[in-house]
Structure 1
Amino acid sequence: MPITVAGFSRAVYWFSVAITLYFIFFYVILYRTIKDKVSNYPSPTARVGFYSHASIGSLFFLSGLIQFNSTLRRKYKTLHKISGYFYFTLSILSILSLIPILVGGSETGMSAWLVVTLTGPLWLWANYLSYKAIINGDVTLHRRMNIRAFGFANSIIWMRPVVSILAAPWTVTSIDQVQPRIAEALKGGMWFTFLVEIMAVELFLYFEDNARASLVTSAGIPFLTSQEKSMINLFDKNPFTSAKVSRIEMLSKSVLRIVFHLEGKAIITGPGEHISLRAKVNGKTTTRNYTPITTRSNMEAGLVELVIRLVPNGAMSSILQSSITNDTTKELPAFQISHCLEGFDYQVNQHSVLLMAASGTGITPMINIARYILKNPVDKTRIHLIFSVRNAEDAFLEDILKELVQTATPSRFSYEIKYFLDGEVVTAESIRSYTINKESYHILLSGPERFMVPLEARLSALDKTVPVFSFGISDR
């Protein structure tokens, strides 16, 4: 079975969860605090520093685990956002809490002073870059810097077994019980754990980059070529590319179709991947994420096509509405677009059937994924899509769905449209009814939370073994 980015990431995440919980409850609380009674910190100042740092650090690790849980991130966006601010604040407090430890007498002496003063600012800088990236709408850079910062912090956990290993030859429980010069050398070796952890994180990101760069089909046809991949510089100070509105039309009273022409490098998206759209008007910047429905040939020509629902008082909706009306009394928005790498981890022929249920503009990632699958001649996966809309007027993009039916191998793609104002409600049972016994299938949901949350809960109740993936569609 091939190692995938998603599978490897999940394994690393849950391993980190186990190690972190063990560290907090067994090492910090039971051993250091209750049994050992913080004996290595004899001065009152150092002991206050230890308790502060241990409690803040434990909360930091727990909030970090919430941040990196993809399920919580998709289902509970508000929780993810709140825990993110909490996580960033704890990063600062954890560094400040080290001051009384260092002043009161750290068990690791001079080496602790050197490491904290040299690496502490770098760690805070990585957290700051992560925070700045998400404020700017750069989800990819935000995630990468978060991984770097959290991995760096995890070296504190991995340092503990290193201490035991270094102290073992002298049959002591603490490095401080060894001769002073030897102890200081051993402490320097202990802090070397930081470098090892940093290298491990960079190797993980390198593996992830190479795995994503090879998003290839079984036929060996690359979806992202190495040349295109090299154009995606995740460390650009400004990852956004200027874009001009090429075409705009209303698909219904509240849904528009807009095509942007990029003035810089082309953006090539993978299955389910989204882009960040930024608009600047009167000095104020607004950023939102959307999944494009652009064909491969149009992507290569520097076009990005989006379908967006306009909502009352929505920040981006108001900007786009002014673009439609050509209001000359208002400043024209300056648009920019950035590439993101977060998407649906699709594997060729992993399942017999891919069941899709979308509501409203939630149809966009489904079209993106369906095109990707159907263009591969060796992929035998069948796709059935249920599109939930208010009425016939809201059945936008049906022309693309009909085109997919005509171009696909017979029986590989089918769809049905349900009008919920006429009582045609999408249920978990109606989604699963398309499959036949013993078929392996994967379910994708996309649309507003009021559509996805009850469906996902019911699907899980019917069969927890069936994988369900949800795309979040938020207020625009």
Structure 2
Amino acid sequence: MELLQTPNLKILGLIVAVAAITVVAAYLHLTKKRKGCLDPENFKDFKLVKRTQLSHNVAKFRFALPTPTSVLGLPIGQHISCRGKDSVGEEVIKPYTPTTLDSDVGYFELVIKMYLQGRMSHHFREIRVGDYLSVKGPKGRFKYQANQVKAFGMLAGGSGITPMFQVARAILENPKDKTKVHLIYANVTFEDILLKEELDGLANNYPDRFKVYYVLNQPPEVWNGGIGFVSKEMIQTHCPAPAPDIQILRCGPPPMNKAMAAHLDALGYTQEMQFQF
């Protein structure tokens, strides 16, 4: 009887060993950090595979990475430099923050507001599916690690929402990150609000960790958000109070950034508690 069982035990042992090796290999494959596609020194070309018009002057552009499992390799809160041609054919380079993360494999997306006189705006108005965009990066001073602060206050204006959205998504989609996010987002009209559906989705999915307060200079007749410009009182009401374990991020047009810096200083936020993209 023992002679009959010995080969079976050997086969069973071999199957278990192979299964264990397979599981370990799969784990290592899933957990190893993928190498990003960006080059900080040289521009690389990425193909536009989808363009979605969101409003009369805003569009979402999806660019393919080399393979379906490639990642861009952009650290949270940093940006890329995009190169294009303006209306007279001269080269122009401008920074943009993708709205996607490295958890979005195989592609990256940019939400771009195209201004009538904008030099890079011309390039994005003209680019079509199948064309290529030259990109270099990563760039930026902001470095983020999970739970580095208790809470973020975010002051965004117009297209300055893109780095805020990227940081907020990274925080909220990480189950180990307990950081809370309080966003004040200012625009001229309701139609100017970028990523509103996505921001409202975050507020609905993470009600205890993400709050958004919209401010409009020219609101519609029925409006329950802020009116005018972002004030000290709005910051006091909707952002975390000054403390060593909080940070206020700001990104918007230069006049707004200057005004927000003055408000924050007056409210007692130290320079260490502030960061401007």
Q: TM-score range by the shorter chain?
A: 0.7 to 0.9
2:49 is the counterpart of 1:246: yes
Q: Which amino acid is 1:398 matched to? A: K
For residue 377 of structure 1, report the CA deviation from its aligned partner: 2.0
From 80, 90, 94, the equivalent of 1:275 is: 80
In the alignment, which residue of structure 2 is the partner of 1:199?
none
> Offset at 1:357?
1.2
Match of 2:172?
Answer: 374
Q: For the aligned residues, what is the CA RMSD?
A: 2.9
Q: d(CA) in 1 for partners of 2:47 and 2:38? A: 20
Higher helix proportion, which one? 1
Show the 5 A alignment for 1:256-405: 256-263=59-66, 266-279=71-84, 284-298=90-104, 300-301=105-106, 303-323=107-127, 334-405=132-203
How far apart are residue 290 of structure 1 and its match?
Answer: 0.2
2:39 maps to 1:228:
no
Higher relative CO (Cα under 8 Å, sequence separation at least 6) belongs to 2
Structure 2 residue 256 is matched with structure 1 residue 421: no
Contact 1:246 1:260 in 2 (8 A): yes
Distance 1:336 1:232 in 2: 11
Match of 2:208 among 407, 411, 415: 411
User: Structure 1 residue 401: deviation in Å?
Assistant: 0.8
1:218-266: CA deviation from partner (whole Å, max 9, x where unpaired)? xxxxxx965426x65545xxx2222121122332222222111234764
> In 2 relative to 1, CA 394–437 (structure 1 residues): closer, same or farther, beyond 3 Å?
closer
SS at match of 2:35: helix
Larger Rg: 1
Identity of aligned residues (%): 31
Deviations 1:195-237 (A, max 9, x none): xxxxxxxxxxxxxxxxxxxxxxxxxxxxx965426x65545xx
Q: What amino acid is aligned across from residue 259 of structure 2 in structure 1?
A: P
Cα distance in 2, alignment partners of residues 315 and 436 from structure 1: 37
Change (3 A) 1:252 1:268: same
Tell whether the 8 Å contact from 2:38 to 2:138 is kept in structure 1 after alignment: no
CA drift at 1:361: 0.8
**Aligned to 2:237, which of 429, 433, 443?**
433
Partner Cα distance (2:146, 2:124) in 1: 37
> Following TM superposition, by how much is the alpha carbon of 1:435 offset from its aligned partner in structure 2, in angstroms?
4.9
TM-score, reference length from structure 2: 0.74
Question: Could you give the per-residue CA deviations for residues 337-386 of structure 1, whole angstroms, max 9, x where no partner exists?
Answer: 22214242224333322111111111100010011111222322111111
Instruction: Between 289-298 and 359-368, report the one with greater CA deviation.
Output: 289-298
Partner of 1:143: none
What does the per-residue CA deviation read over 1:143-171, in whole Å, with 9 as the maximum and x for residues that have no partner? xxxxxxxxxxxxxxxxxxxxxxxxxxxxx
Corresponding letter in the other structure for 1:294: T
Contact 1:351 1:441 in 2 (8 A): yes
Question: For 2:116 and 2:85, how far apart are their aligned partners in 1?
Answer: 19
What is the distance in 2 between the residues matched to 1:469 and 1:436?
A: 15
Is contact 1:386–1:417 with CA below 8 Å preserved after alignment? yes
- Residue 275 of structure 2 corresponds to 469
Name structure 1 gaps, 5 residues minimum: 1-223, 327-331, 472-476
* Partner amino acid, structure 2, of 1:417: Y
**What CA distance in whole angstroms lies between the structure 1 residues aligned with 2:44 and 2:240?**
46
* Count of matched residue pairs: 235
Q: Deviations over 1:106-133 (max 9, x none)?
A: xxxxxxxxxxxxxxxxxxxxxxxxxxxx
**How far 1:453 sits from its partner (Å)?**
0.8
Instruction: Tell me by how many angstroms 1:287 deviates.
Output: 1.9
For 1:340, what is the secondary structure of its paired residue?
strand
Q: Is the 8 A contact 1:353 1:381 kept in 2?
A: yes
Partner amino acid for 1:420? N
| Structure-2 residue corresponding to 1:83 | none
Answer yes or no: is 1:447 the counterpart of 2:244: no
Q: Residue type of the partner of 1:470? A: Q
**TM-score, length-normalised on structure 1?**
0.45
Give the 3-state SS of the residue equivalent to 1:365 in structure 2.
Answer: helix
- d(CA) in 1 for partners of 2:131 and 2:84? 6
Q: 1:313 to 1:228 in 2, by over 3 A?
A: same
Q: Quick one: distance in 2 between partners of 1:277 and 1:458?
A: 32
**C-alpha distance in 2 between matches for 1:438 and 1:456:** 14
Superposed displacement of residue 295, structure 1: 3.8
Matches within 5 A, 1:9-408: 226-228=33-35, 234=40, 239-263=42-66, 266-279=71-84, 284-298=90-104, 300-301=105-106, 303-323=107-127, 334-408=132-206
Cα distance change on mapping 1:296 and 1:226 into 2, 3 Å: closer
Q: Give the drift of 1:280.
A: 5.3
Q: For 1:421, what is the secondary structure of its paired residue?
A: coil
Query: CA offset at residue 403 of structure 1?
Result: 2.1
